[in-house]
């Protein structure tokens, strides 16, 4: 028989086709531009830990990478395993001389606390040198928001003729209708929306999911946008993004900011408006019209009620201003 002959020949020659080795997957690294990565391996390991185990957003990981790179640069030749309480105090004093705001310094200190806690867990350090350092008190800034007339002007700015303006109209309505963070909005996929029931599933900070109701006006605008085929369909996406660019890619935070600024200029609002200002406007207007604080907390996805309470200060201040203006004996 021919088959055994061939088989014997292969055995003698040891020439069975070898099974191709499956290449090892590359190590998981956060998607951070190389130019802002620190050279210390422990920093890179920490950023990988944030991404894979903590589920931190790319925005958070990128900010931590920048903060840690700045800290490593400040230390010059000193090894991270030799850092003391005084080194961190010196770094914070340096930031103050560079006129960093208290909120920026507080964020950088939070980053260092988290980083050194990780090094302690990994037995690189015996204790966290940043643990006992008090956080600088942040300046109390009330959230900026748009009044109802300004909101109406902005939401009516897109002409709704082209596919792009129908998309922009839907985005603006969604931001104001439900108080999304911009990162939550750009992360939405088609299967996150139930337009018939009038809700959207959102992944917030720490990848926590919540269900958010969407108003009828926003749903109508979203349907008009989805009814029209985009210039280019998304390519090979496992999850089909809800809001896409003309090239079919998922929109980014930056593209949403640019889009809002375009319409702000178009209607002449005369102020800088960010996506987060629409979120502030949503919360303020809800409380102005009698919504209870707990409901607004859930809608915004705040972990702590104290975060939501800042909006009560806004509405209380407006009442005080109205009283001072209108009451004859104020």
Tell me, yes or no, if 302 is annotated catalytic. Answer: yes
279: annotated active-site residue: yes
Q: Pairing mode, if any, of strands 193-194 and 209-213?
A: unpaired
d(CA 201, CA 191): 9
Name the residue among 175, 174, 181, 176 with its Cα closest to residue 198. 174
285: annotated active-site residue: no
* Catalytic entry in 42, 108, 166, 279: 279
Q: How far apart are CA 58 and CA 75, in angstroms?
A: 26
Residue 266 appears among annotated catalytic residues = no
Exposed, middle or buried by CB within 10 Å (0-12, 13-18, 19+), for 320?
exposed
Which of 166, 181, 203, 250 is an active site residue? 181
Instruction: Please say whether the beta carbons of 287 and 300 come within 8 A.
Output: no
Q: Which of left, alpha, beta for 236 (phi over 0: left; psi -120 to 50: alpha)?
A: left
- Which residue is catalytic, options 205, 210, 224, 257? 205
Q: How many residues does the chain have?
A: 330
| Residues ≥6 apart with Cβ < 8 Å to 246 | 164, 230, 231, 232
- The token pair at 290 is 């009698």
- CA neighbor of 222 nearest in space, from 192, 249, 247: 192
**Candidates 302, 313, 320, 327; catalytic one:** 302
Spot the catalytic one: 62, 224, 276, 318. 276
How much helix, strand and coil, in percent to the nearest 5, is found in the chain? 55, 5, 40
Closest CA to 223 of 198, 201, 188, 195: 195
Active site residue 327: no
Active site members: 181, 205, 276, 279, 302, 311
């Amino acid at each position: 028989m021919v088959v055994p002959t061939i088989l014997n020949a292969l055995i003698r020659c040891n020439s069975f086709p070898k099974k191709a080795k499956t290449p090892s997957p590359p190590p998981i690294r956060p998607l951070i531009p190389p130019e802002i990565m620190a050279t210390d391996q422990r920093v890179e390991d920490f950023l990988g830990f944030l991404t894979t185990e903590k589920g931190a957003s790319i925005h958070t990981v990128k900010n931590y990478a920048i903060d840690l790179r700045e800290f490593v640069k400040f230390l010059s030749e000193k090894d991270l395993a030799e850092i003391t309480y005084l080194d961190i105090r010196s770094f914070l004093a340096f930031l103050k001389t560079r006129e960093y705001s208290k909120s920026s310094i507080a964020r950088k200190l939070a980053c260092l606390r988290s980083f050194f806690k990780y090094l302690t867990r990994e037995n690189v350090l015996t204790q966290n040198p940043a643990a006992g350092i008090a956080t600088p008190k942040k300046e109390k800034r009330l959230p900026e928001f748009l009044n109802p007339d300004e909101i109406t002007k902005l939401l009516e700015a897109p002409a709704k003729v082209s596919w792009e303006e129908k998309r922009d109209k839907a985005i603006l309505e969604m931001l104001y209708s439900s108080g999304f963070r911009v990162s939550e909005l750009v992360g939405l996929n088609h299967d996150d929306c139930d337009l018939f029931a009038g809700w959207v599933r959102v992944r917030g900070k720490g990848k926590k999911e919540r269900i958010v109701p969407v108003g009828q006006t926003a749903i109508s605008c979203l349907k008009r946008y989805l009814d029209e085929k985009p210039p280019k369909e998304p390519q090979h996406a496992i999850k089909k993004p809800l809001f896409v660019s003309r090239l079919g890619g998922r929109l980014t935070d930056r593209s949403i900011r640019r889009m809002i600024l375009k319409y702000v200029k178009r209607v002449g609002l005369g102020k800088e408006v960010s996506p987060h200002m629409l979120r502030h406007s949503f919360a303020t207007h809800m409380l102005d019209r009698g919504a209870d604080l707990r409901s607004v907390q859930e809608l915004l996805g705040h972990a702590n009620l104290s975060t939501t309470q800042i909006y009560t200060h806004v509405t209380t201040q407006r009442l005080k201003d109205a009283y001072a203006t209108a009451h004859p004996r104020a």
